[in-house]
Each structure stands twice: as C-alpha cells, then as structure tokens.
Structure 1
C-alpha cells in the first residue's frame, strides 16, 4: 500500500453548457472532500450534502467505484475508512455522482500504488457514469470537451482555454431532478434541423470561450436537444436564463440534467444572482444562489 492517509478534493461540475450536450463541461470551485485510510471493513461518515440520504454501507457509490477499480486490475478489494465533507448538492446537475465515482477510483488507485494513469481512470469513470462530460471536467479541471471513441471505450478529451477569468453564478433549487428522469424524457431521435442548430452553436461556443467574444455566448448557449424537453421538470428554466442575461450574464444554461441553472458573468455577479433569485420566486421556485469561479486544477490528492 502506497499511503496511510489520503485527502481527495473533487470539484463540482456544470455540464452541457447549453449546446454542448453530453460533451462539454466546466469545473467549479465547490468541492467534495474525502479523507481515506485503509481499514478491515468499509466505513463511511458523511457531513453536509446528502448526509441523510446517501448509503453508508458497501452500496455507497464511492465503495462501488473502488470495487470496480480492483476488479478491473484483478486485485483483491481493499477496504477503506472514509470521512466525507460534501458541498456538492445531490441531483442538481452539479456532478455529485461524478465526484463520488472519481473519489472511489482515485482512492483505490493510490492505495495500489497508482497502476492506472489518468486516462485509464477516466475511461473507468465514464463506464460507471455512462457519459463523459462531468467526470472529465471533475478530474482534469477547467473547461473540457469529452467524447467517447466510436471504436471502443477510449475517451478523447481536449481542454478549452477560456479567455480572461469569468465568474459563474448558479441558482440551485431545493427540488431535485434525478438524472434518470431528466434523460428519460428526451426523444431517442432528433430532427436534422435541431442537430444542425446545436452543431453550429457548440462550435461558436468553444470559439467564444477561447477568444473572449462574450457577445456571442448567449446565442452559442442556445439548445434544442435537451433543455426544451427538461422544462417539463423545471418550468421556470427559461425565465431563470432570461433573468440572468437581462442582468448582464453573457450566457446561461441548465447545468447538466438540472435542476441548477448556471450563468457566466464578466461583471455584475451580485445583480445577476439577485435577478435569478427574484425570477425563481416569481416562478414559485425555492432555492439559493452562489457566485463561484472556474476550477482550473481538477481533482487533487494529498498523501501522507
């Protein structure tokens, strides 16, 4: 065993970014933290988000992800004693399950002396999660393009280097939107016109982020593949997006599968947050706003 104590910090993520459905995400400076030591049996204590909801036995996603790692490398499953401080809300489209998956995989990898490289861990994480956007941004930080190769399990990633230092304003409703529900309402097929609509806008989105052409971002974050359908689960979505851009946000979108709404800001962050809170109240939504930064590091591990 390579270490007696591990501290793992994994960021929240905001995926899709409007037009980049299932292939684009950013990491945020809101973190879940794990303190991990070897143990004769699996034990987990949870503080913060999900403390009353999450499993504390072997079915916990952190333990399940670690088990998947050991099975993959053909080694006996090692048990862990884990203390969690969770700041990422559950089922709000901020990558809480991705953070748990990464935490379990990375803890197991370090305990075994790091036999798998980041790319191999990422492939495992995508197999567990089912899609690459959240776990890629959570592992690597920054803004990441992530796609799965059509030839196998390989995950291809590319960082989008964002011009300047924009802020991120999020409105987090009290109501959850479980990913399985938010994906189940999507059609299995899309019109060619809608596909073209999104293809052009995701190209514009990446270029806008890289060059700082913020005037294009509002249009670039428009979507026809997932957000229109998910308004069934979050009727106030369009009003929240409009309220943020009316107050000066350069673009806004449904974060992941929801229910969080994310706005990108160059300035006026407090006004944007206030406008979103006001709009939510008008729509009968209860929730909170936070002003965050983009995390540029990704998951961090400390050993001692």
Structure 2
C-alpha cells in the first residue's frame, strides 16, 4: 500500500514536470519575438503567438482594407525579427477648370484694299473641366493621371479679313497724273468748291454705318450731305460722302486712305472738288 502511494506521487510529479517542459517548449517555439511593425509612418516592436501576419494584425487591433498594401502578404508565416509594413492607400477624384484658347483665322478679301484689315468676328475662349485620379500612400501623393476631360463651352475663333485688292498711296501721284486730272476736270459738270483736305485711316465704322474704304470721305453734313458724290480732280476719281468727324467743319473734308503713312505723306492740302451728285 505504501509502495503504491509512493509510486502515485512519483508519477504525478513526473507528469507535472513533463507538462511544464512541454508548455515551456511551446512558449519558445510558438512565440515570435522582435517583430518590427510599421503602420502609418510609426514603427513599433511587438511579440506574437500568431502564425501569420494576418493573426498578428488582429492581435494588435490594426485595421486595413483591400486597397491597402500589406507587406509581406497577410498569409505569410511569422518569423522572429520580421519586418511588416502597412501602407494605407487612398484614391480620390479632383476636378480642375481651365480655359481653351481660341485661334485666329485670316481670310483674304479682294474687295478690300491691300493693307487694310478688319475683324469680322471676335474670338471667345472656351471652358473645359479635367478630372484627375490621385492616389495617396500614407497621405503622400504618388500618382496623378487624367481620368476624363469634359468640354463645357467650345471656343469661338477670331476671324480677321485681310484686304488683297488694289491699294492707293497718296505720295505716288506724279506730275503727269496731276496734269491729266487737271485737264479732265475742265470737262466736269458740277459745283466747284475749294476745301482744306486732310486724311485718315483705320478700321472703324462710318457715321452712315459703312466700312471706310478708298473712295470714302468725311464731311460736314451741313455743307455736303451724306451720300453726295464728290469728284476730286487730284485723284481723277469720284468719292462718296459717308463719314464725319469732330474737326470736320465747314469747307473741310477728310479723305480715307489705306495706311497711316499715306495719311502722313498727304498732310493738309487745299484742293478743288466738284459736287457731282
């Protein structure tokens, strides 16, 4: 009886010792130590009894989703001194509004004297919206690409009319032309006037709503009514009174010419004119 009791005590002691050894071995075998964990830019060192990266993250209450980057992968086996990094990924859409520049179209017109240009249509900028897809890793921008582009308003091109017809330069009138025009003026029937004549140029609209051209003169409508045809022997040509000006008073006219240099060369002259219609 005493031997049985003694044997039981020895057996239990051995069993307890064996169990302790198994648990101690399990502790050292299963426990993974000094695992470096990088989350959102912060580095910590942890220990774990888990078998995989996924179990370690669950032990430490670390949240993530399917878009985030976990390295090594969630199913990787844990090892001592392992380095695990989680990169949080965020994707957002950003819209930017911008303008679309218009182009300038130049069209030639033989009905306008050479050197004369006018704007037939003003240009207008368009508007567009560009949608970018931006990707951030731990709050830092790593990618920015165009997802789509939407035209909100199409641009309107500017249209410029460029004259290619015959141009007149006042300074080119020579002596032979003057003699021939003076000779032909003797046969002109109409009221003769002696006026002070200046010259002007540019792209504008006359007082009667027309575009000034070679053949247009500005007058004092109280003296020479709009629409009156005026023959000028100096050029051997009939002009039309279509414009006026603040400084055009009394016996004074302003002759439209094709360039500012021609106006400068003309200056101010006293000339004969004939009211012919």
| Superposition TM-score tier, normalisation by shorter sequence | under 0.3
For CA contacts below 8 A with separation 6 or more, give which structure has more relative contact order: 1
If each structure's strand is expressed as a fraction of its own residues, which one has the higher value?
A: 2
- Please report the TM-score for the alignment, with normalisation by the length of structure 2: 0.19
